[in-house]
Amino acid sequence: MEQAIIEKYKSWLNEITITPSEKEILKNFSQEEIESCFGADLEFGTAGIRGVMGVGTNRMNIYVVRQATQGLAEYLLANFKNPSVAIAYDSRNNSEKFAKETASVLAANGIKVFIYRELMPVPALSFAVRRLKTSAGVVITASHNPKQYNGYKVYGSDGCQMTPDAAKQVLENIRKIPVFSGVKRSTFAIEMSNERIQYIPEKVIEKYYASVLKQSIFSPKISDRVLRITYTPLHGSGLKPVTTVLNRDGFNLIDIVEEQRLPDGDFTTCPYPNPELKEAMELGIKLMLEKENDILIATDPDSDRAGVVVNHRGTPVILTGNEIGILLFDFIVNARIQAKKMPKNPIVIKTIVSTDLINLIAKKYDVQVIDVLTGFKFIGEQIHLLEEKSNVKRFILGFEESCGYLTNPAVRDKDAVNAMLLIAEMANHYKHLGVTLVDRLEQLYKEFGDYKTITLSYQFEGLDGKAKMAQIMENFRNPEIQKSLGNIHHIGDYLQQKLIFSDHEETTNLPKSDVIKMFLDDAETVTIRPSGTEPKVKAYIFAHGEERVNALKEIIDNLMK
């Protein structure tokens, strides 16, 4: 083991501010645990920081949170006059504690803080940043990760996730700050009493609800609410906002999954609280079938991702993020045309790993498609650019395959509360027509082609995981490996910012990102990228029919070994 790691470990062991229980944990560390917890530092990036909770520099804990906040504070003080920050947190273990420590350190640096009184979704934080005109926002969350994780997500003054340049400045500050002695400290109670910390007023929450309800396309006056809904917040922050919005939109036939109703940082009933996974949805599916409800809808712990299961004539069908996106886009376009609410020159914004079936549907309705890099911050960035040009009304949907959707330009991140409203209106509309969402999806495949999509995820834990992931990305840049997937039309290498054809190259006009997209014959695509928040490499397949998808999956499985 490197001497630097041992010295770092000893400095924590001898630190007087470390609690007795934490010292006891440190004393009992094995050599492997010392290397794992102190062999690296959690890196601050555009998604902030995220990691397993525990003691050490490579773990999420109160000391790392304070250090990151001091780095953020110094960035804000250097770039804003009288800076302020809005803060939210989800249901995870230590989320409220980390949020209040964040508020206290910012306030100790003379920065005004507005914090939600109770857990609130990520999109509500994005909204509050814009509504309160703060310099930045922070959400304590690890999204849909298992219970061991927590994170620290930072937003800019535009309500989007922090830009790469800003994140780089914060990271440079953090690296100069001693984790224990370099942080300005105060207490939450003291800073509340001197009003440097204030709770976000209820009227801001009401304004958020109102902005979501403005996204309604078919009001109860136009379409009677006959849809029967099962809803699970998966122990997260979605219960109050989702039910409030649905009730106000006329949806009252809602059964909540009682076992998953209340916040629970241990996620007792769903160890991996991801609405894309069947395991997380099993209790909801059971209740949906028992009650003979039409759909099950779900939100993840920070309520930015939306999941849907359809009761398709007694058979539960879990929709993928891409399938929900296809259905929403088709519904929004047709419903807006019917309601005469379609703007001139409409725009849909999606990520490069999301289904390209959107492009075919968009062509039919003359909707412009803007493709961006993976990460909803890039969708938010495009909304901001439209707003700057007074063209934000052209925006009708932002969509990423990992169950992220947005139609509300008052928010700049994916919003499951917004999505739940539209999904309910969509399913209600089709119920009046006597069809399910699965029926409508099959109709779209018949019209535009039987394209199927699948997202694959390969885990690479430990300190050698990063090296393994880097090697895999390099392997997929090898022309021989690329050819093993089929006939290549061209390659998108987004790290080089190039589209590479057999006889020429073009620029992507996108920022650098370690992503490779192989454009095959017959409009099929395979995209490979490392996750920005987890030790994983992800593969996205878009191909004709399940047989072809499975064939490509087998090839990629072998290449990931």
- The string over 207-240, giving b where at least 16 C-beta atoms fall within 10 Å of a residue's C-beta and e elsewhere, is ebbebbbebbbbeeeebebebbbbbbbbbbbbbb
Do the Cβ atoms of 413 and 161 come closer than 8 Å?
Answer: yes
Here the tokens at position 180 are 């224990």
The beta strands (E) that lie in 426-524 are given as 451-459, 488-493, 498-500, 505-507, 516-520
DSSP secondary structure letters along 336-401: HHHHT-PPSS-EEEEETTS-THHHHHHHHHT-EEEEE-SSHHHHHHHHHHHHHTT-GGGEEEEEET
Here the tokens at position 553 are 């999956």
Q: How confident is the model at residue 414 (pLDDT cuts 50, 70, 90)?
A: very high
What per-residue confidence (pLDDT) applies to 196? 98
What per-residue confidence (pLDDT) applies to 489? 92
Q: How many CB atoms lie within 10 A of CB 312?
A: 15
pLDDT, tens only, 197-215: 999 999 999 999 999 999 9
Alpha helix (H) residue ranges in 214-317: 239-248, 278-291
Q: Above 90 in pLDDT, residue 521?
A: no
What per-residue confidence (pLDDT) applies to 46? 84
Indicate which residue of 143, 157, 303, 513 is catalytic: 143
Q: Above 90 in pLDDT, residue 452?
A: no
Q: Is 181 a catalytic residue?
A: no
DSSP secondary structure letters along 148-165: TEEEEEEE-TTSSBPPHH
Q: Look-up: residue for tokens 């909801």?
A: 284
Who's near 199: CB < 8 A, 6+ residues apart?
114, 115, 116, 117
- Cα 206 to Cα 128: distance, rounded to the nearest angstrom: 11
Share of the chain above pLDDT 90, in %: 90
Domains of the chain: 1-36 (no CATH), 40-200 (3.40.120.10), 210-448 (3.40.120.10), 451-559 (3.30.310.50)
Here the tokens at position 496 are 């080089």
User: Could you tell me the end-to-end alpha-carbon distance of the chain, in angstroms, rounded to an integer?
Assistant: 27
Who's near 300: CB < 8 A, 6+ residues apart?
143, 144, 234, 236, 238, 273, 274, 275, 307, 403, 416
Please tell me the chain's helix, strand, coil percentages from 3-state DSSP, rounded to the nearest 5.
40, 20, 35
Is the pTM of the predicted complex or chain greater than 0.75?
yes
Q: Above 80 in pLDDT, residue 1?
A: no
pLDDT, tens only, 64-114: 999 999 999 999 999 999 999 999 999 999 999 999 999 999 999 999 999
Most trustworthy range by pLDDT among 92-96, 359-363, 522-526: 92-96
What per-residue confidence (pLDDT) applies to 181? 95
